Amino acid sequence: MSKEAVARVRLEVVPSADLLTQLPAAFGTSGSVSVTCLPHHGPARTVEAAVNLARLGYHTVPHLAARSITGEAELHSLLQQLQEAGVSELFLVAGDRRTPAGPYSWSGQLLEAVNAYSPDFSIGIAGYPEGHPQLSQEQLSSSLHMKAPLASSLVTQMCFSAGSISRYLKAIRNSGIQIPVWVGVPGPVSVRKLVSLGARLGVGRSLKLARGTGMAGALWRRDDFLSYDSAGLIREIHQELAGDPLFAGFHVYTFNDLGRLPGLLHGLQALQPATTLSPGNISIPLFPAKI
C-alpha cells in the first residue's frame, strides 16, 4: 500500500449521524479526513465512519485509541476492515479512557502491534508543542523517540502560537527525528469551546497569550464568546514554516462545525498558490509521508 499523505490540508472530524451528508457539502471527496476516537464512542464507531468516508472517495485516517481496544482479536478485526476498505493510514494515540479496556495502555504498544500485523500501514503519532497536562517533558521526549522509528508522520496538538510550533519543529529536528509534521490548528469554533478544552488539551499557555492580543482579546471581553478566527494564526504559521522540510501541512480541528469551513479553506488557498483549493474540491500536490 502507498505510504503517502495525499493532501497538505487535512480535516479532523468526529463520527456523527450526519457526517456523511454534511462533510461533502463543505469538503470535496478527494480530500483527506482524520476521524477521531472518543472514549464513549469506541474504536468500532471510528472505523465504521472511516470505512464509509473511504467509500465516498476520501483519504481517511482513523484514530485508534490504545486504551479503548480490548485485545489483539479486536485490533486485528478493525485493521482488516480498514484494509478491505483501502484505508492505508492510521493515527495512534493512548486515548482519554481512564482504565485500559485491554492490554494496550499507551500508543507505543499499539504501534508495535499494528506494525506486527501489517507493515503496510502508514502510522501517525501525536506531538505536543506546549507539553502535555499529565506528562513531563522528559516523558514526552522519551515516548516520541521510541515511537518515531515506526511512524510515518506526526500531528501536533492544537496550538495558538506560531513561535511555539516553529521551536517545536526545530527541537525535534535537532534531536534527530525526521518525519513530516502536520501542524494542528483550530477551525471555526467558539471561544467558549476553546476555553473549555484548553486545560485538557494542554494548550493553556498559548490561549493565555492569545487572550491579551488583538481580536482574541476583544472576544475574551465579550459575554457571548464569539467565534475564534484562526486565519491570522494560519498565516503566521505559514510564514514561520515556509520551506521547512518537516512541515507537511495543516491539520484542521473542525469540531464538526462544517458549515463554516468554506471561508477557512479559501484562506488556505491564498497561502498555497500551486494548489487548486475550493470549498467543494481539493487537489493538492502529494507530499511524501516518510523522509
Residue 212 in any domain: the answer is: no
Helix (H, G, I), strand (E, B) or coil at 78: helix
Residue 213 in any domain: the answer is: no
pLDDT band at 283 (very low <50, low <70, confident <90, very high): very low
Give the count of domains, the chain.
1
Residue 65 in any domain: the answer is: yes
pLDDT computed for residue 18 by the predictor: 95
pLDDT computed for residue 243 by the predictor: 84
Q: Is the pLDDT of residue 272 over 80?
A: no
Whether residue 91 contacts residue 107, with contact meaning beta carbons closer than 8 Å, is answered with: no
Contacts of 267 (CB under 8 A, 6+ apart): 231, 234, 235
CA distances from 203 to 13, 157, 165, 222 (A): 19, 8, 12, 21
Least confident interval from 96-100, 141-145, 216-220, 287-291: 287-291
Question: Residue 3: which of 153, 132, 149 has the closest Cα?
Answer: 153
- Give the mean pLDDT of 127-150: 91
Helix (H, G, I), strand (E, B) or coil at 138: helix
| CA 10 to chain CA mean position, Å | 8
Whether residue 95 contacts residue 126, with contact meaning beta carbons closer than 8 Å, is answered with: no
Q: Bridge partners of 277? A: 282
Residue 93 in any domain: the answer is: yes
pLDDT tens-digit series, residues 65-75: 999 999 999 99
Counting residues of the chain whose pLDDT is more than 90, the rounded percentage is 60
pLDDT tens-digit series, residues 189-231: 776 666 665 444 444 444 444 444 444 444 444 444 456 778 8
Task: State which residues form the domain around 262.
Answer: 4-190+228-288
pLDDT computed for residue 197 by the predictor: 57
Query: Residue 223 is which amino acid?
Result: D
Residue 195 in any domain: the answer is: no
Phi, psi (degrees; rounded to nearest 5) at 252:
-95, 115
pLDDT computed for residue 227 by the predictor: 65
How crowded is residue 283: how many other Cβ atoms within 10 Å of its Cβ?
12
Residue 223 in any domain: the answer is: no
pLDDT band at 119 (very low <50, low <70, confident <90, very high): very high
pTM to 2 decimal places? 0.82
- How far apart CA 69 and CA 187 sit, in angstroms, is 29
Residue 214 in any domain: the answer is: no
What CATH number has the domain bearing residue 65? 3.20.20.220
